[in-house]
Structure 1
Amino acid sequence: MNISLHGKRAIVSGSTAGIGFAIAFGLAEAGAEVVINGRSKARVTRAIEQIQRKLPGARVTGVTADLGTAEGAETLFAKVPDTDILVNNLGIFEPKGFFDITDDDWRRFFEVNVMSAVRLSRHYAPAMAEREWGRVLFLSSESALQIPTEMVHYGTTKTALLAISRGLAETLAGTGVTVNAVLPGPTRSEGVGGFFSQMAEEQGVPAEELEASFIAEHRSSSIIKRLATVEEVASLVVYLASRQASATTGAAMRVDGGVVRSIA
Structure 2
Amino acid sequence: MNIDLTGRVALVTASTAGIGHAIARGLADSGAEVVLHGRSAATVDRALQSLRAALPGARLRGAVADLSDAAGAEALLAAVPAVDILVNNAGIYGPQDFFETDDATWERYWQTNVMSGVRLSRALLPAMVDKGWGRVVFIASESARNIPADMIHYGVSKTAQLALSRGLAKRVAGSGVTVNAVLPGPTLSDGVAEMLKDEVARTGQSLEDVFNGFVRTQRPSSIIQRAATVDEVASMVVYVCSPQASATTGAALRVDGGVVDDIV
Q: State the TM-score bracket (shorter-chain normalisation).
A: over 0.9
Tell me the alpha carbon deviations over residues 85-122 of structure 1, each in whole angstroms, 9 at most, x when there is no partner.
00000011011111111111100000100000100000
CA distance in 1, matches of 2:253, 2:233: 10
Tell me the alpha carbon deviations over residues 167-211 of structure 1, each in whole angstroms, 9 at most, x when there is no partner.
00000000000000000000001101211123333x445244432
In the alignment, what sits opposite 1:49?
Answer: 49
Amino acid across the alignment from 1:16? T
In the alignment, what sits opposite 2:254?
Answer: 254
Please say if residues 188 and 211 of structure 2, whose CA atoms lie closer than 8 Å, have aligned partners that are also in contact. Answer: no
Equivalence map 1:30-179=2 (5 Å): 30-179=30-179
Give the 3-state SS of the residue equivalent to 2:191 in structure 1: helix
Tell me the alpha carbon deviations over residues 58-95 of structure 1, each in whole angstroms, 9 at most, x when there is no partner.
00000011012111111111111100000000011011
Give the 3-state SS of the residue equivalent to 2:25 in structure 1: helix
Amino acid across the alignment from 2:70? A
CA distance in 2, matches of 1:209, 1:63: 35
CA distance in 2, matches of 1:177, 1:199: 44
Amino acid across the alignment from 2:223? I
- CA apart distance, 1:54: 1.1
User: Gaps spanning 5+ residues in structure 2: where?
Assistant: none
Identical aligned residues as a percent: 58
Give the 3-state SS of the residue equivalent to 2:178 in structure 1: strand
Give the 3-state SS of the residue equivalent to 2:179 in structure 1: strand
Give the 3-state SS of the residue equivalent to 1:37 in structure 2: strand
RMSD: 1.0
CA distance in 2, matches of 1:160, 1:144: 8
Q: What TM-score, normalized to structure 2?
A: 0.97
Q: What TM-score, normalized to structure 1?
A: 0.97
Give the 3-state SS of the residue equivalent to 2:181 in structure 1: strand
CA distance in 1, matches of 2:48, 2:85: 18
Q: 1:209 to 1:49 in 2, by over 3 A?
A: closer
Tell me the alpha carbon deviations over residues 193-252 of structure 1, each in whole angstroms, 9 at most, x when there is no partner.
211123333x44524443233112210000111110000000000000000000000000
User: Gaps spanning 5+ residues in structure 1: where?
Assistant: none
